Structures are given as structure tokens and as C-alpha cells.
Structure 1
């Protein structure tokens, strides 16, 4: 009985000690330095938050890929050229290229494939004159399907890179 009581007290002391350390690190957070402009641009972008997959960003189109492919075919290059023209006419907008896959394959494999797709699109856009610092990439793998289902038509719609403003 005494042994159980001693173990309980030790456990409580450890928890209390950890809580104290956590509070100290939380208190160590300071405000950001005030070098440069402190104004924040609060004007919202006039685009649908869902991105080009919503069909509501006039001028940006999704790029589609073949099964297990990250290379750009002729249609993909044409679609990317359309997006490059849009970006050139909107020079202050930064864009995030989102890579997606269909539902086949492991999570790890699909995240890597989505990243290869997004990076292929970014590299081609940069080769057409868009500054790399205006482009970022992210891969969602199979986690954000455009169309649910286990059919070739659904899979084809989900193998894509789409574009969202990242400003």
C-alpha cells in the first residue's frame, strides 16, 4: 500500500514538473520584431477558396496526368501555358500548385507522385517565365478527390494538378 502511494506521488510530481516546463516555454514566445512595414494587406483575393477545381477562378485550369505518370503531355503543356498567361496578367499573385492522385496505391506512394506532378508543373511554368518564388507546391496524394468512385472516369479526374492563389 505504501509502495503504491509512493509511486502515485512520483507520478504526480513528474506531471507537475512537465506542466511547469510547458508553461515556461509558452511564456518565452515574444512578439515579432518591428523592422519594416507593419501594414498587413487585408484585402481578400477575389477567388473561390476551393481553387481551380471549383471552376470559379477564371483563367486557371487544372492539369491532368495519365495513370502513374508525372510527365507533361501536349495537352498539359497547353493548359500550363494558359495558366502562365493568367499569372503574367496578375503579376502580384502567388500560386500554390496542388498535386493529386487517384485512389489506387499507398498513401506514401501517392503523396510522392502528387509532389512529382506539382513539381513538374512548377518547373514548366518557371521555364515559361514565371518566377519560382511565385510558385509553391503541395501534394495531397489521394486525400482530396475531385470525384468519388472506383471507375476509370473518376480516377482520370483525380489525377491532376490544380492551382490556388497563395497570397
Structure 2
């Protein structure tokens, strides 16, 4: 009788471990996770790159402003600082920072370090309307965290940064097209103090 009970307990434990493993894979979406896992390691080695190329990148915002016909920015205060901090965008179902997002965060870091050295910033993660509420809240948090981690590598103190995820609750564009969804997959940098 004891051998049968032990066998039944072992069988139940094995079934629970298999079921538990499957549930995790289902939530993480292994197909998407596999695609995101490959690009994730390159950001760590890329962190030193801005330090090595600070001089060319420092000149880049000035030349972009000149090309766009914008006036050079003076000391940014209050609402002007919020307007100066640019949002970044993400690919569908991804929290990997593109090169364009990194360049934008580099310019934002310069503003936060040079023109707003005491400002505290909330990084707000957003998603498009596709996907469940829970999934989009988690994805929005990952996007905000990725942006925060990159700003920290650029020298912005982590104590000045916080993250929050709104998931799909605050769309920038309420449309139901790919263009609208692309605008909604973003992280907004909001000065809170």
C-alpha cells in the first residue's frame, strides 16, 4: 500500500511540475520571449559606447536642432523641461530599446544632467490596445524599466527616476490602426519635481 501511495505522490508532483512549467511558458509567450532575449544582451555592451563617443553625440543634438530650424535650448524649467524631454517608442510586443530610442534617451539625459540637475522624473510605460490588461501592464513596466536602466548607465542618478506602467489605459492616439498603435507603444518622461 505504501509503495502505491508513494508512486501516486511522485506522479502528482511530476504532473504539478510539468503543469507549472507550462503555465510559465504560456504567460511569458516563449516565441516572443525568444525574439526579445537575443537583442537584450547587446544593450549591456552598448552602455560604454556613449561614454566612448560622448563628444560626437554631444554635438549631434546641436546639429539636429540646426537642421530642424529649432533654436538652441537655454535653461529648461517646469513645463518647458517636460516639453524638451522626448518620448521614446517601441516595436510591437517588445521592450528592447532601438538605436533611435537610445539616441533620444541620450539627449534626455543631457537635459537632466546639465539643465535640470535636481529634477525627478517619472518614466511612464504605455502599450497599444492589443493584449490583455495584465500583459500590457507588465510590458509597460518592462519598457519603463529598460529606459530607466539606460538613463542610469548614462549617468542620471537612479534616485531621481521612478517607473510606472499604464499599459493600454492612456493611449496617445485612440485610433485602431497600425499608425495609432505605433504611437501608443511608448515611454513618456514626466518631470514630477
TM range (shorter): 0.5 to 0.7
Shift of residue 78, structure 1, vs aligned partner: 0.3
Deviations 1:129-154 (A, max 9, x none): 00000000000000000001110000
1:1-27 deviations in Å (ceiling 9; x for gaps): xxxxxxxxxxxxxxxxxxxxxxxxxxx
Partner of residue 47, structure 1: 79
How far apart are residue 83 of structure 1 and its match?
Answer: 0.6
**2:181 is matched with which residue: 143, 155, 160?**
155
75, 78, 86: which one pairs with 2:100?
75
The higher relative CO (CA closer than 8 Å, separation ≥ 6) is in: 1
> Could you tell me which residue of structure 2 aligns to residue 127 of structure 1?
153
Q: Paired residue for 2:168?
A: 142
Alpha carbons 1:65, 1:160 under 8 Å: kept: yes
Cα shift readout 1:31-60 (whole Å, capped 9, x = no counterpart): xxxxxxxxxxxxxx7217xxxxxxx83420
Runs (4+) off by over 6 Å: none
Gaps (5+ residues) in structure 1?
Answer: 1-44, 49-55
Matching residue of 1:166: 192
1:2-151 alignment runs, 5 A limit: 46-47=78-79, 57-89=82-114, 90-151=116-177
The higher radius of gyration belongs to 1
Query: How many residue pairs align between the two structures?
Result: 116
TM-score relative to the length of structure 1: 0.67
Q: Which runs of 5+ in 2 are unaligned?
A: 1-76
**Deviation (angstroms), 1:166:** 1.7
Return the structure number with greater helix share. 2
What TM-score does the superposition give when structure 2 sets the normalisation length? 0.58
